[in-house]
Chain A
Amino acid sequence: MRTQGKFIERVLFLLALSAVSSLVLITVFIFMEGLPLIVHTGLKDFIFSTHWAPTKGHFGIFAMIVSSILVTLGALLLGVPLGLSCAITLAEFAPARVRRVLKPALELLAGIPSVVYGFLGVVWLVPLIREHLGGPGLSLLAASVILGIMILPTVISISIDALTAVPDIYREGSIALGATRWQTVRRVVLPAASSGIITAVILGMGRAVGETMAVIMVAGNALQLPTSILDPVRTLTSNIALELAYAAGRHREALFATGIVLFVIIMLLNLSATLITRRR
């Protein structure tokens, strides 16, 4: 019996190791492919130039970094208030029966493939923007709205977990002191759950930064720095996916280098999520 247990332990350990090592391999691979270009162009020119014409030797991704940040902020602006109010309603005010039905239903939203969101965006949202607000429709705004909807399940389900993890004693204490339900939520429950909610926002942000397919379909992918929310933009992920098919030589390296920048951004986001959760 004991030896069998040991054996299974070993097998599990090996499996865990292989998962981790593939992650390490991927990291090494991305950096090996991308770093030569960053060295060749110079980090400053690569990150702070807006001139991207890889077949003509210009590799500046500044416009894409800015666009990625703007699209993500736009998504948060829409997704976080919506998601958080939904989470508060479900966790604090809705009857348990409603929560049991609605929470899994909302999590199902996360299972819808991103291409479907993108398709909906192209067919429904883009013409709406083009006809009523002007511009080509494919825009920063369209991408933000679609991403805002896409991050809802992440924001909602992690926020609900955070809110329901606040012990009832807190709520009872607050109400016993004469506070109303809303005062209790605002002054006691939300602050107590704040680190969990911030984690929810950061993970939602990670999803928004990393999303590719839906963004390619609705963002318009233009290479400029946007001057209005109706301008088309290209994000870092879109850049890789758009051009990978034909890229060779330096162009290919430049796309991997774009990947490095993306990698660093996501790492920083995850790291800050971990730090915030640890700082209790």
Chain B
Amino acid sequence: MPHSSKRNSPGGSHPARGPLRPGALAIFSCCFLLAALLAAGGCRGSSGSPSHVCVAGSTSVQPFAEKLAEIYMHQHPEMRIDVQGGGSSAGIFAASQGAAELGASSRELVGPEKNLQDIPIAYDGIAVIVHPSNPLTNIRLEDIRRIFEGQLTDWGPLGLKPHPIDIITREEGSGTREAFEQLVMGQKEITPGALVQDSNGSVREIVAGDPHSIGYISAGLVNEQVKALAIDGVLPTRENIKEKKYRLVRRLHLVSKEPPAGPCKAFIDFVLSPQGQHLLEAEGLVGIK
């Protein structure tokens, strides 16, 4: 009996009922996507007006640039400063093409890029962090490389209780990762076994929760939840970063095609002024002056 009943099963007559309508969801999300794309294109559309500056590029610089722009626009209501992400390379490219007045970069200029105007605005250290309960206080740069390369997978050889190391890295394309690869990894690639998180904050959150983990974040964002390691005996303190004793330091730059003039120059002057530099220091960076 049951076998014959299978043929006219009524169960399937309402396949699309239930709380989910995937089609509608897709359409909605795409509308959002389109809106986001349009918003991202907004910079190009309105730039060129006399009191408007567009800053595009490194996502490591972005939060600081946004803060600076906010304060600056508050003091100069007639000015408009748009800040966008996109990555260092994209920012440098945008500046060289004139698509943005200023490019933001968290890496040094290379090759033909050196023809652009390069304005360093701050130093940013990259701190290698572990759980506060981790007895390790110092680590050799070489060991960091071996850990992230996937050669050194256990805390044992470093003199700790043997336990596999949980490696936390940033996602491909991140400026912090790019700088870390440049400063630590050399030609080696970060192991595919590493956990990937998409922000400084979530790397810190994971390391704070996992006693066996190691990760790296911008030095300005280290707090009491995690412990920054000294590298070859040097802690990532403000002084050590400024005096270049600490090894993992990158410079944050603004880049422009022509020597800055007009509103562009006014904004750069503000960034380099004691007030601007103080703002950057308050946000955890180390001033360039």
Q: What per-residue 1/0 map shows which CB atoms of B1-14 lie under 8 Å from chain A?
A: 11101111111111
Closest CB-CB distance, B8 to chain A, in whole Å? Answer: 6
Question: Is the contact region of chain B dominated by helix, strand, or loop, or is it mixed?
Answer: mixed
Report whether A245 and B59 are in contact in the complex, using a CB–CB cutoff of 8 Å: yes
Q: Which of A22, A56, A170, A278 contacts B27 (CB 8 A)?
A: A22
Q: Does B173 contact A (CB under 8 A)?
A: yes
Q: Which of A53, A167, A278 contacts B172 (CB 8 A)?
A: A53
A3-11, A73-81, A221-229 - interface stretch: A221-229
Q: Chain B residues near A251 (CB, 8 Å)?
A: 172-173
Report whether B192 and A223 are in contact in the complex, using a CB–CB cutoff of 8 Å: yes
Report whether A246 and B11 are in contact in the complex, using a CB–CB cutoff of 8 Å: no
Closest CB-CB distance, B216 to chain A, in whole Å? Answer: 16
Report whether A246 and B173 are in contact in the complex, using a CB–CB cutoff of 8 Å: yes
Report whether B195 and A195 are in contact in the complex, using a CB–CB cutoff of 8 Å: no
Q: Which of A53, A192, A276 contacts B2 (CB 8 A)?
A: A192
User: Given the complex of chains A and B, what is the CA–CA distance between A278 and B9 in angstroms?
Assistant: 10
A22-B27, A196-B9, A222-B196 are known contacts. Are A246 and B86 too (CB-CB below 8 A)? yes
B210-248 residues at the A interface, CB under 8 angstroms: 210, 212-213
Q: Which of B14, B17, B31, B197 contacts A221 (CB 8 A)?
A: B197
Report whether B19 and A110 are in contact in the complex, using a CB–CB cutoff of 8 Å: yes
Q: Does B18 contact A (CB under 8 A)?
A: yes
Report whether B11 and A195 are in contact in the complex, using a CB–CB cutoff of 8 Å: yes
Q: What per-residue 1/0 map shows which CB atoms of A22-61 lie under 8 Å from chain B?
A: 1100100000000000000000000000101111100000
User: Given the complex of chains A and B, what is the CA–CA distance between A55 and B20 in angstroms?
Assistant: 37
How many of A's residues come within 8 Å of B, CB to CB? 72
Q: Which of B7, B10, B90, B210 contacts A167 (CB 8 A)?
A: B10
Q: Which of A162, A223, A231 contacts B11 (CB 8 A)?
A: A162
Closest to B88 in A: A246
Closest CB-CB distance, B175 to chain A, in whole Å? Answer: 8
Report whether A158 and B17 are in contact in the complex, using a CB–CB cutoff of 8 Å: yes
Closest to A231 in B: B193
Closest to A251 in B: B173
The size class of the interface chain B forms with chain A is: 35 or more
Report whether B14 and A246 are in contact in the complex, using a CB–CB cutoff of 8 Å: no
Closest CB-CB distance, A3 to chain B, in whole Å? Answer: 31
Closest to A158 in B: B18
Closest CB-CB distance, B85 to chain A, in whole Å? Answer: 7
User: Given the complex of chains A and B, what is the CA–CA distance between A187 and B23 in angstroms?
Assistant: 35
Report whether B173 and A222 are in contact in the complex, using a CB–CB cutoff of 8 Å: no
Residues of A within 8 A of B (CB): 19, 22-23, 26, 50, 52-56, 63, 107, 110-111, 122, 126-127, 130, 135-138, 153-154, 157-158, 161-163, 165-167, 170, 173-174, 187-188, 191-197, 199, 203, 206-207, 210, 216, 220-224, 231-232, 234, 242-243, 245-248, 251, 270, 273-274, 276-278, 280
Residues of B within 8 A of A (CB): 1-3, 5-15, 17-20, 22-23, 26-27, 30-31, 59, 85-87, 89-90, 164, 166, 171-175, 178, 189, 191-198, 205-206, 209-210, 212-213
User: Apart from A154-B18, A224-B192, what are 19 other A-B pairs with CB-CB below 8 Å?
Assistant: A23-B23, A110-B19, A137-B210, A138-B195, A157-B18, A157-B19, A166-B10, A187-B2, A193-B10, A193-B11, A194-B6, A195-B12, A196-B14, A199-B15, A216-B198, A222-B192, A231-B193, A246-B173, A248-B86
